[in-house]
Chains A and B, each alone.
Chain A
Amino acid sequence: MKKLQFSKICKNFGSVVANDNISLSLGEGEILSVLGENGAGKTTLMNILFGHYISDKGFIEVEGQRLTPGSTRASLDAGIGMVHQHFTLADNLTVLENIILGTEPLIRLWSQKKQAYKKLKTLSKRFGLLINPDAKVADLTVGEKQRVEIIKALYRDASILILDEPTAVLTPQETKQLFKVLKEMVNAGLSIMFISHKLHEILEISDRIVVLRDGKLVGEVATENASKESLAEMMVGRKVTRPSYEKLKIGKAVLELNNVCLNASERSTALSDINLKIHEKEIVGLAGVAGNGQAGLASILQGLASPSSGEFKLFGKNLVKYDPCYLTESGVARIPEDRTNEGIIGEMELWENFLGEELRSKAKSGFIIDKKQAVSNAEKLIQEYDIRCEGPFASTRLLSGGNIQKLILARSLSNNPRFIIANKPARGLDEGAISFVQQQIIDAKTQGAGVLLISEDLDEIFELSDRIAVIFEGKLQGPFDSNTVNINQVGLMMSGEVKAESLHEA
């Protein structure tokens, strides 16, 4: 019997079709991967399953029983557990307290911690989910927090587990461990839906794969019959060619950091003794789990913070002014981490956002905005970078993520920069936009720019970088020539292991 069955689910948001007649099923003891780009309808489908939305048409059955639409409680009671991409844990409570939160009746004099403790211990032993029930959630690593989320679902006797992009925050080693746990759970009879867009992981973990595109179910294959290429093609709807990198003869150093330190702040962990040299015509990839000092390093390189000590040389000269406008004028292109909140001002019009850091330098006598020139420049760049919009006067918040990123690229790369600091430039974009962004960066390198590419996606780093550096707790390892390290070694360094000296580059 099918454990979970979606039948002809339809959901529209205004004129947007989010789910179009989707039927799919999940068997007992099966791992089903749901693959699709952003906006393909994965999240909507899960929200319907979880009672956050009500489908316009169609229904869901759990073990043959119709699920009450629009009720989260009904979904929980039916044994559906969800592990969200963004954790829903209370930092100031212990693991145990987080797990029993919401499972206890409202009115009771004392909570049943003892029984809960026992149940937790059995669960964690049974599936190899090792965790200390008395630890404070705030003190846990990301991987451990995820374990708590999984146990939380199991504690509520979930027999169907939905995992939404569970590996996005994990190192390759943590991912391996997670997969081991998932296999154990399936062996014990649980059913798992695994939502992701990382193809190699999906191929590794699942029994069966369904692909969503534009709200429709476009494919269903058994994993043994699938390949990376065929899945990518199904997901995007056409053949995908990711840009490939080519090693070039490097030129002069464009950026040199010597013993750069930064004190810890709200924004970033402290940086200690960062040494980094980037040359013309090379891309240096910076790998690391989020929150290990990337934000701090990026803010220094983008002129938003000045180091507490150390030397910052740009194009061979000591940097005198930590100022975004000054850096841009000197030939630095800045691609921010948070494109919608940091890279643009949504309420302003497109042409105004094209001014960005060059507001003052492009103004007449530094004061009157040259609107005519700005608008024609915007029109030119909209054409050149194929930004889908209603023209230079459209309000910028209406653009899609990919088009916002194109705007930012157009703004920063059209000045022929000599150094590019790109902070997670492809994160959250769909395949088409990703290859566009990556191609732009590669083209800039070919034209002579040096690039620092910060990314959490190791595939991306290996696909694009000439050299790879790893950041962990504010300390840098490398950069190493990308031919001398493999994904596993980088993964180990991301979790703090020090790489052998022998491979260290001078």
Chain B
Amino acid sequence: MRLKTRRDAPVWLIALLPILSIGVAFIIGAFFIIWAGESPITAYIALIKGSLGSTFAITESLARATPLIFTGLAAAVAFRAKFWNIGAEGQLYCGAMAATLVGTGVIDLPAPIMIPMLFIAGALGGCLILLVPVVLKTHMKVDEVVTTLLLNFVILLFVNMLLEGPWKDPMAMGWPQAARIIDNGVLPTIVAKSRLHFGIIIALVMSVVMWAILRFTVWGYEIRAVGYNQQASTFFGISINKSVLMVALFSGGLAGMAGVSEVAGLKGYLTLTLSPGFGYTGIAVAMLAQLHPIGVIVSAIFLASIYVGADAMSRTVNIPNYIADILVAISLLSVLVGAMLTRFRIVWGK
């Protein structure tokens, strides 16, 4: 068995790939559901009902998709330049910390000023922490996969320390959580009596902005060029270090905004349970979207629906909601295998 390089993969194949992968994931997932002793059909119906079956379910799915769009974009833009930022989780918490720092009473301004300020603060928080791995990479060639990943744990422990110590809200009846974001800083909900908040609008706008930057600007060209071929980029006069720095600022900033959106939109305060791994799931979102900023919206909503649906399913049918992780993992693996198949063709025999 050998692999042969294809000429250009047909467009329909590239477009079909995520859909096929998801299909494969559901088929393989069915075996696990049978293993757990249930009918996959009832389980999947429960899953779909739970994620899309009612206004409440849809708003829940979209609310869950909001941080995933931010972290998905963070991963997509970084991976385009082959800058492997695995630290969106930590950057998300940094954004949340920045929002808490600014938004819990130090300053009180009208909402139209306060909210953008929170997002800017959060983006800066995400950027600043990512500067450490960037400088280590550009100046000392330290691998960013290791530094960004390990920094996540440092940041989580730091947040833990703050919440158990100086930032602990005395009004929270002993729970380790920070003070609430002041009213002017809270993101308004867009559907009454739901948790779907204004953050999703900002996430959608950021997707379009990133898409436009990648597609129409010199920055986008440089990001893609550096990702494809560093030698030629250097020959064209593109500074690799500058491009990596730029990409890191985008990526860290977007991840930081995810933290703001969660703190100021969903939870209202900083806790250690703010993110159940949105930073890591963002990587799956980006890969499933094949690093396309608009695709990130679709894949974030899809993955969020699976998670939300699986929660609902575990309540109605007797299956643990870990099935969601299995489905997401398999669809991600299928996309990776499929992406390889669009570039290569398998030839059997010698």
Contacts and interface: CB of A to CB of B under 8 A. Distances in A.
B234 A304 contact: yes
B193 interface: no
Interface of A: 54, 70, 302-304, 323-326, 328, 334, 336, 338, 341-348, 352, 355-357, 359-360, 363, 366-369, 371, 395, 398
A281 B231 CA distance: 31
B224 interface: yes
B12 interface: no
Interface in B219-262: 219-222, 224-225, 228-229, 231-238
B231 A342 contact: yes
A359 B217 contact: no
Given A54-B350, A341-B232, A398-B8, A303 B237 contact: yes
Interface of B: 7-8, 216-222, 224-225, 228-229, 231-238, 350
B217 A345 contact: no
A324 B237 contact: yes
Given A348-B225, A395-B8, A367 B237 contact: no
Contact of B236 (A346, A356, A366): A356
Contacts of A343: 232, 235
Contacts of A70: 350
A330 to B, nearest CB: 12
B235 A346 contact: no
B218 A352 contact: no
A345 B237 contact: no
A345 to B, nearest CB: 5
B221 A347 contact: no
Contacts of A355: 221
B224 A348 contact: yes
Nearest to B345: A14
22 contacts: A54-B350, A324-B235, A324-B236, A341-B229, A341-B231, A342-B235, A344-B232, A345-B228, A345-B232, A345-B233, A347-B229, A348-B228, A356-B236, A357-B235, A357-B236, A359-B236, A359-B238, A367-B217, A367-B219, A368-B217, A371-B216, A398-B8
B242 to A, nearest CB: 12
A360 B225 CA distance: 14
Given A343-B232, A368-B217, A368-B218, 17 more contacts: A54-B350, A303-B237, A323-B237, A325-B236, A343-B235, A345-B228, A346-B228, A346-B229, A347-B228, A348-B224, A352-B221, A360-B218, A369-B216, A369-B220, A369-B221, A371-B216, A395-B8
Contacts of A352: 221
A484 to B, nearest CB: 35
A54 B350 CA distance: 8
Contacts of B236: 324-325, 356-357, 359
A205 B238 CA distance: 48
Contact of A359 (B216, B221, B234): B221
Contact of B235 (A302, A360, A367): A302
B228 A363 contact: no
B226 to A, nearest CB: 10
Contact of B231 (A338, A359, A367, A371): A338
A297 to B, nearest CB: 16
A338 B235 CA distance: 11
Contacts of A371: 216
A310 to B, nearest CB: 22
A374 to B, nearest CB: 10
Nearest to A302: B235
A99 B76 CA distance: 50
B235 A363 contact: no
Contacts of B233: 345
Contact of A398 (B7, B229, B232, B234): B7
Interface centre among B218, B219, B221, B238 (most CB of A within 10 A): B218
A303 B239 CA distance: 12
B299 to A, nearest CB: 22
Contacts of A302: 235
Given A355-B221, A368-B216, A369-B221, A325 B228 contact: no
A328 to B, nearest CB: 8
B219 to A, nearest CB: 8
B225 A345 contact: yes
A261 B235 CA distance: 21
A229 B221 CA distance: 47
A435 B185 CA distance: 70
Contacts of A344: 232
Contacts of A360: 218
Q: Which of A345, A346, A367 has the most CB of B within 10 A?
A: A345
A342 B232 contact: yes
Contacts of B216: 368-369, 371
B263 to A, nearest CB: 33
Contacts of B222: 359
Nearest to B215: A369
